[in-house]
Structure 1
Amino acid sequence: MRYTMILEAFRAEAVYLVIGVSILSWVLWQCLSSGNRRAGPLSWPVVGMLPSVFLHLHEIYEWSSEVLIQSGGTLDFKPPWMTKMFTLVTIDPRNIEYMVKTKFGNFPKGAYFNSIFQDLMGKGILNVDGKEWAGARKIMSSIFHSHDYKSHLIQTLEELVKCRLLPVAQAACESGAVVDLQQLLVRFTFENMCVVGFGLNPKAFEKPEAEAIARAFDDALDATVRRFIIPSTLWKLMRFLGFGSEEKLNVSLQLIHSFLHRLISLRRHELVGDGTDRRHDLLSKLMMQAEAEHSLTNETELRDTCINFVLAGRDTSSVALSWFFWLLTQNPSVERKILGEIEGVIKRRRSRGEPEAEELRVEDMKEMQYLHAALSESLRLYPSLPINFKEVKEREVLPDGRVLAKGTSLMFSIYGMGRAESIWGSDCREFKPERWLKEGVYVAEKASKYPVFNAGPRVCPGKDFAYLQMKLVAVLLVYRYRMEAAEGVVVVPKLGVNLFMKNGLLVTLHPRHTTPNSLD
């Protein structure tokens, strides 16, 4: 019996040894033959290239950018066996223009993206395709281009900047305290989206519930993003059993949904009493439009639209501004040029005899050509949405010759594009606003080269308002304060749908003299 047990143990050890040697031999073969295959992460049996992704998760955007550049602009990604993950990543402008414009109809968001964001975004404009998307886009465009809604956007923006953002910044400046500027900007843009989207009173944000709702949006988005790096069968099991990040997502969504359903119910009562004719927020506009067209818009549709609106406008602008201000702390020469441009606007206002010439307003922003270029350059290096996902509806051949089967999931890296010499030249990693100017006037690049606001039919309808918001916030903060990054602060991107800074942006605010002459 003892000899039998020893023999069985020996056989088991031999099996493990054979398996280990086989795996080691395979890895060595992969490494030795790497010169004969396309550059890219090591592809393992069963799990594909996923181990390399996990290994570089802390630097995923920089690492993936380098891999894509070394791969010639497009990488054939090997996902784990029997999973529905993306299988191609590209930064090639030819491929991107083909997907988002030339053959737009054949490259929807697709089932993979939809399944991940279904719980959070529902059937909102950011998560639907085809006729559903076209219908939602038409409705949103008509509202965004209405005169009273645009006036409401501008009025709300000016009021919130001066009544909510600046007082907090001034208090931090006077106390000398270190402030997380990213957190401050996220809160400001969240409040802005809630006022213009839901018609909330700014004073409502002083209540504890507002803080809880804001945090719920953060938690829901973080939990949803985790689905990209967890095999679908696993996160769906976690959702079914209600644990881990899926439990966090469920709790957050319950809070958000409850809040919005109460708000929608309240607005319906106002609509019956003709109270919405004085309202110009998105929710009221949607409900009045549905009534005028005698169409039924249920609460779930309204709720999903509101959630998509907040997600589209809250994080994108705040993230963009955070990176912009950080870049200014690293590039004082750019900051001086922006200050000089502000001084020029103030001097022109004084020459026209305008009262309170230093009180810059939204209409002054169109004169800020260099500032517009600096914001665009910041977004080039640190796009708010670093990646975009697509799926192939029918068999397709990309401009680079790759054949894509029906149902193929793929993505393009906007972050990686900004670091490609083949697209932006040898100075692509430099913060250089001048690359956007021609004889002092801002000149936009082709969307296929710069898809920061998406491109083609799905280009962001709120792009102009986003620039307006960013420019006004930038001008009023830069004019009043000199920002200094806290000692020892390390600024790196955080994994997510939006390019947040992992540790926030810790700065101290120092007062500037407010007379134009002191800006020299």
Structure 2
Amino acid sequence: MRVWYCNCEICQTYIQSSWTLQFPNLCDWYTHLLQNSPTQTIHFHVLNNTITANPDNVEYILKTRFDNYPKGKPFSAILGDFLGRGIFNVDGDLWRFQRKMANLELGHVAIRAYGFDVVSHEIHRRLIPLMESVSQKNEVIDLQDVFRRLSFDTVCRFSFGLDPKCLELSKPLSKFTISFDLASKISAERAMAASPLIWKIKRLLNIGSEKKLRQAIQNVDILAEEVIKQRRKFGFSDKKDLLSRFMTSNISDEIFLRDIVISFLLAGRDTVASALTSFFWLVARHPDVEAAILNEADTIIGAKNGLTGYEQTRELHYLHAAIHESMRLYPPVQFDSKFCLNDDVLPDGSFVKKGTRVTYHPYAMGRMEEIWGSDCLDFKPERWIKDGVFYNENPFKYPVFQAGVRVCLGREMAIVEVKSVAISLLRRFRVELAVPRDASARFSPGLTATYRDGLRVLIRNKPRPN
């Protein structure tokens, strides 16, 4: 009911959606507000949400006062029907257990090598043949759709030991994939509602978007249950995939295992597909960057050779920089929220009342002159290079993988997948945008950044070296 008691310009603009008259995306309007705030922090009264793009505040929230800024029950309720008790939606012991298990596995060199093998198999057995076929037909293709299928196949093989074979465009998208996307979209829309009463009443009455969400989650649950059933049927004690590793820890709660499956899918499919889509969106507009990437690859790998292993990907410093620069401008997760447990004051002097939702905004942070300089809107991989070597920025200045205590455990595997796909496609094909080069990126509501109209491109073969 706070909606009716705030007449400030920001709240009324949000309620009336009048920001759409000037900005293509909600995240762009937020960026505009944060850029014009003296502290890079704003507060939405109707949402009871403090939003910040101030690196000092981000460090304070994610590290210094981590215990005072959990995901919180309100946010867990928003995503609870979809993500359940998965790692992205819980605090305390449940979060610590899942993080410990994932950290033990993802930190192993053998697991990283296994992940590289899975990605390489998908690229060479499916992705490249698919691109060859498309290039011969001279057809426009949605590259975002291709990357979502690719990353879904990859995460299913890596995390669950199963192969859904989605990277065959002759096959329609599975009911699961459609339902997964719908559940993500509606769950994100819950968080944007001016009052949680709106979606809670709709859920109680099982009407509108909440009815669709319930049906979508039922379809998602069917696949998750089948994944677990298959793992039990064929055994898991000698398997390398992550689900098998969790199951060997004697977890007997089927619903908890379901939540783990969904969290892995969200982390491994949507974020990687989003990162790849934005990377090719930008590289297609900057041929000088593509040329530098290819020159480095020829020097490090050899003009006639392909990537041979996980360690070799680490030598591609300019490609590493280009990927990080792409995610600076278009992070797969545009914002992330916590809830304040007790009254607090952020480093910039902003007072935060107990129960306030606190959001840090990587999308806006990538566009702040105070953080990145006057060329912050330019796609410039060189800003990450010092003396020819990739240089990591302060993670609280660049919280694309979160930072502090809850920093993303799968970031290295994700980067390896993006690198492998980028090199394999750029060396064989020319990707031409089928939209005007100056067109703005437009995003759909969701837990990760999804291009509203996909990424429509033409694929051209490049001559191969003799």
Amino acid across the alignment from 1:227: R
Q: CA RMSD in A?
A: 2.3
Establish whether residue 474 from structure 1 lines up as the match of residue 422 from structure 2. yes
Alignment CA distance shift 1:256-1:487 (3 Å): closer
- Quick one: structure 1 residues 427 and 118, their matched pair in 2 at CA, closer, same or farther if it must change by over 3 Å? same
Deviation digits for residues 83-110 of structure 1 (CA, Å, limit 9, x no counterpart): xx34211101110011101111111111
Aligned residue in 2 for 1:264: 228
Higher relative contact order (CA 8 A, sep 6+): 2
In structure 1, the residue matched to 2:119 is: 157
Query: Are residues 1:503 and 2:463 paired?
Result: no
Offset at residue 247 of structure 1 (A):
1.6
Partner of 1:253: 217
Tell which deviates more after alignment, 314-323 or 338-347: 338-347
1:124: how far off?
Answer: 0.3
Residue 201 of structure 1 aligns to a residue whose secondary structure is: coil
Distance 2:448 2:38 in 1: 26
Match of 2:442 in 1: 493
Instruction: Identify the residue that residue 299 of structure 2 maps to in structure 1.
Output: 344
Residue 283 of structure 1 aligns with which residue?
243
Q: CA deviation at 1:55?
A: 4.5
Residues 3-22 of structure 1 mapped to structure 2, 5 A cutoff: none
Conserved 8 A contact 1:362-1:472 = no
Aligned partner letter, 1:176? N
Amino acid at match of 1:226: E
What's the counterpart of residue 315 of structure 1?
Answer: 270
Q: 1:143 aligns with which of 92, 100, 105?
A: 105
Distance 2:17 2:55 in 1: 26
* Aligned match for 2:281, one of 303, 326, 351: 326
Change (3 A) 1:405 1:157: same
Shift of 1:491: 4.4
After TM superposition, the structure 1 stretch with the greater mean CA deviation from structure 2, 312-321 or 200-209, is: 200-209
1:174-193 correspondence to structure 2 within 5 Å: 174-193=136-155
Listed one character per residue, the Cα deviations across residues 286-334 of structure 1 (whole Å, up to 9, x for unaligned) are 11122xxxxx431111110010011011111111111111111111111
The alignment partner of 1:240 has SS state of helix
Correspondences of 1:31-70 after superposition (within 5 Å): 41-44=9-12, 49-52=14-17, 55=20, 58-70=24-36
Quote how far apart the aligned CAs of 1:237 are. Answer: 1.4
Match of 1:405 in 2: 353
Give the one of 345, 356, 359 matched to 2:306: 359
Partner residue, 2:411: 463
Task: For residue 484 of structure 1, give the secondary structure of its aligned residue in structure 2.
Answer: strand
SS of the aligned residue for 1:262 comes to helix
Structure 1 residue 77 and structure 2 residue 24: aligned? Answer: no
C-alpha contact (below 8 Å) 2:143/2:457 kept by paired residues: yes
State how far apart, in whole Å, the 2-side matches of 1:203 and 1:77 are. 45
Query: In the alignment, is the contact (CA less than 8 A) between 2:119 and 2:417 conserved in 1?
Result: yes
Give the AA of the match of 1:412.
Answer: Y
- In structure 2, the CA distance between the partners of 1:172 and 1:453, relative to structure 1 (3 Å rule), is same
Higher helix share: 1
The AA in structure 1 aligned to 2:144 is Q
Task: Return the offset for 1:49.
Answer: 4.9
Say whether residues 1:220 and 2:183 are aligned partners: yes
**Which amino acid is 1:434 matched to?**
E
Q: Contact conserved, 2:150 with 2:166, CA < 8 A, in 1?
A: no
**5+ unaligned residues in a row in structure 1: which ranges?**
1-22, 31-40, 291-295, 351-356
Instruction: State the alpha-carbon separation in 1 of the partners of residues 165 and 14 from structure 2.
Output: 50
- In 2, Cα distance between equivalents of 1:311 and 1:49: 28
Cα displacement (A) at 1:52: 4.8
Contact 2:76 2:90 in 1 (8 A): yes
Counterpart in the other structure of 1:17? none
Once residues 448 and 203 of structure 1 are traced to their aligned partners in structure 2, the CA distance between those partners, rounded to angstroms, is 38
Aligned residue for 2:126, secondary structure, equals helix
In the TM superposition, residue 493 of structure 1 has moved relative to its aligned partner by 3.1
Give the distance between the partners of 2:413 and 2:275, measured in 1 at CA: 14
Can you give the 5+ residue segments of structure 2 that lack an aligned partner in the other structure?
Answer: none
Identity of aligned residues (%): 35
Once the 2 structures are TM-superposed, how far is the Cα of residue 346 of structure 1 from its aligned partner?
3.5
Residue 321 of structure 2 contacts residue 390 of structure 2 at CA under 8 Å; is this kept in 1? Answer: yes
Q: Please state how far the C-alpha of 1:153 moved relative to its aligned partner.
A: 1.4
Question: Is the 1:154–1:362 contact (alpha carbons within 8 Å) kept by the matching residues of 2?
Answer: yes
TM-score by length of 1: 0.83
- Give the drift of 1:202: 5.2
Report the AA paired with residue 350 of structure 2.
Answer: R
Cα contact 2:152–2:166 (8 A) shared by 1: no
**Of 114-123 and 193-202, the range deviating more from structure 2:** 193-202
Partner of 1:394: 342
Q: Distance in 2 between matches of 1:385 and 1:323?
A: 12
Question: What is the alpha-carbon distance in structure 2 between the residues aligned to residue 115 and residue 53 of structure 1?
Answer: 29
TM superposition shift of 1:59: 2.1
Partners of 2:24 and 2:440 within 8 A in 1: no
SS in 2 for 1:450: coil
SS in 2 for 1:330: coil
Determine if contact 1:182/1:505 at 8 Å carries over to the other structure.
yes
Q: Assess, with a 3 A threshold, how the Cα gap between structure 1 residues 227 and 371 changes in structure 2: closer, same or farther.
A: same
Deviation at 1:43, TM superposition (A): 4.1
TM-score relative to the length of structure 2: 0.92
1:358, distance to aligned residue in structure 2 (A): 1.7
Counterparts in 2 of 1:86 and 1:513: CA distance versus 1, 3 Å: farther
2:159–2:242: 8 Å Cα contact kept in structure 1? yes
* Equivalence for 2:156: 194
Quick check: which has more Rg, 1 or 2?
A: 1
Separation in 2 of the partners of 1:73 and 1:387? 18
Query: Judging changes above 3 Å, is the alpha-carbon distance between structure 1 residues 210 and 76 closer, same or farther for their aligned structure 2 residues?
Result: closer
Amino acid at match of 2:263: N
Looking at structure 2, the residues matched to 53 and 456 of structure 1 have their Cα atoms a distance apart, in angstroms, of 36
User: 2: distance between equivalents of 1:498 and 1:504?
Assistant: 14
1:513 is matched with 463
Deviation string 1:377-398 (CA, Å, 9 cap, x unpaired) is: 0000000101010111122111
SS at the partner of 2:359?
strand
Aligned positions, number: 456
CA distance in 2, matches of 1:511, 1:75: 47
Distance change >3 Å, CA 501–CA 385, structure 1 → 2: same
Counterpart residue identity of residue 460, structure 2: H
Residue by residue over 1:205-249, the C-alpha shift from the partner in whole angstroms, topping out at 9 and shown as x without a partner, is: 769697221111111111111112222111111112222221221
1:211 equivalent in alignment to 2:177: no
